[in-house]
Every structure is written in C-alpha cells, then in structure tokens.
A and B are shown apart, each in its own frame.
Chain A
Amino acid sequence: MTDNNSDTLSKPSSFKQRNKSNIVKLKFWTAMWVLTMALTNFGPWLLWDYNLTFSALAVILNLALGVKMVLANINHLKGLDEMQQRIQLNAMGITLGLSLIVGLAYSNLDVLNLISYHAEISHLVIFMGLTYLIATFIGQSKYQ
C-alpha cells in the first residue's frame, strides 16, 4: 500500500482496539457480578452464619454490580458495527420471544402438575443463555 493510502486509512482509535477494550470491561463486570452472586448464595452459610445485615449487603452489592454489568454490555453493543448490532438484536429478539413462551409453558407444566419437579428460574436462565448463544452463532454464520 502506498503512503498516501496509509494516510487515508489511518485512524486514531481502531474499531478492533475499541471493541477489545469494551469486551475486557464487560468480562470484568460480568466476573464481578458472578462472584457477588456466589457470595450472596454461599456467604450466609459459609461466611456470616445467616446474619441478615450481611445478607442484605450482599444482595445490594450483587444488584449494584449487575447494573454495572448491564451498562458495560450497553457500551459494548454501542461499540459494535451495524451488522454485528443487527446480529445481536436478532439474537436478543429470538431469546426474549422464546423465553417468554417457553418460560410460561414451563410454568404451566408445573402448575398443572405435568412435571414431577418444580419449575426453577435457573432453568429459564440456562435456556435463555443457550438460546442467545445459538441465535448469535446462526446470525454470524448467515453473514459469512
């Protein structure tokens, strides 16, 4: 490439660098949120013997870090280009729609005693995660 072309193509902050930084921040806040989730669940019987003040503080900390994680995710999504944003939007739409209908159907199964165990929220979270992952993968393959 000529020098002239290099000048035309030079950028102060590249798309790659910006995204890398956004992903690092998202990973950090997600890890913090997961850690405080573990603290909230295991802390009462491992660390503070069901002390209500500590339990309430753990819940508040978990919520606060959850908000930070959501903000980091918004920042990450804003940093993506238009095709990547479309893939993410489609994946989120599919995840929301399927989670709603499958989640409520699953709840109905429990209410009507058609399943031998309780419909847990964690099952829905796992379903949402897998749906989002598969929808993102399909979206990416569509544009390859």
Chain B
Amino acid sequence: MKNKLKVLRAERDWTQAQLAEALDVSRQTINAIEKGKFDPSLPLAFKAARLFKLAIEDIFQDEV
C-alpha cells in the first residue's frame, strides 16, 4: 500500500516523533508506514485521516 504520510507530514513541518505522538504510536511505526514496510490498521488509518483532515484514500492508496 502506498501512502502520502511523509509528504503530508513535511507540509506541516512535523517530525516523525510528533506525528507518532499525535497518532499514539511509536516513531518506528511511523517510519515503517512511510517507507511502505508496514500497513496500518483501519482504525489507525482513520486516525491519520482525522488528524490531516483528509479522506483515507487521499492518504493511503492501494497498489494493484
């Protein structure tokens, strides 16, 4: 699954640690999601969408 987490975070000038704290996860998890090594659960994806005030599909895209 592809995602725009890194771009959205950079646009807001947030660090991985700050985003991790806002989403209540570890910095390592944010790093793994950004690198596409870990796909977040639906609740975490919704949480990210709420934080960035975007729809889930605007952040996460399925790789077909």
Give the interface of A toward B (CB within 8 A).
Answer: 1, 5, 8-9, 11, 14-16, 19, 80-84, 86, 140, 142-144
Chain A contact residues: over half helix, strand or loop, or mixed?
helix
The residue that A9 contacts in the complex, of B18, B38, B44, with Cβ under 8 A, is B18
Inter-chain contact A143/B32, CB cutoff 8 Å: yes
Inter-chain contact B28/A143, CB cutoff 8 Å: yes
Give the interface of B toward A (CB within 8 A).
Answer: 12-14, 18-22, 24-26, 28-29, 31-32, 37-38, 40-41, 44, 51
Chain A residues with CB below 8 A from B40, complex form: 82
Inter-chain contact B24/A144, CB cutoff 8 Å: no
Inter-chain contact B25/A8, CB cutoff 8 Å: no
The residue that A14 contacts in the complex, of B13, B21, B38, B44, with Cβ under 8 A, is B21
How far is the CB of A129 from the nearest CB of chain B, in Å? 23
Q: Which residue of chain B is the closest to A19 with respect to CB atoms?
A: B26
Inter-chain contact B37/A143, CB cutoff 8 Å: yes
Chain B residues with CB below 8 A from A15, complex form: 20-21, 24-26
Chain B residues with CB below 8 A from A14, complex form: 21, 24
The residue that A8 contacts in the complex, of B20, B28, B51, with Cβ under 8 A, is B51
Kindly state the separation between the CA atoms of A84 and B30 in the bound complex, as whole angstroms.
11
Q: Which residue of chain B is the closest to A17 with respect to CB atoms?
A: B21
Q: Which residue of chain A is the closest to B24 with respect to CB atoms?
A: A15
Kindly state the separation between the CA atoms of A28 and B20 in the bound complex, as whole angstroms.
27
Kindly state the separation between the CA atoms of A84 and B22 in the bound complex, as whole angstroms.
17
Chain A residues with CB below 8 A from B31, complex form: 144
Chain A residues with CB below 8 A from B28, complex form: 83-84, 140, 143-144
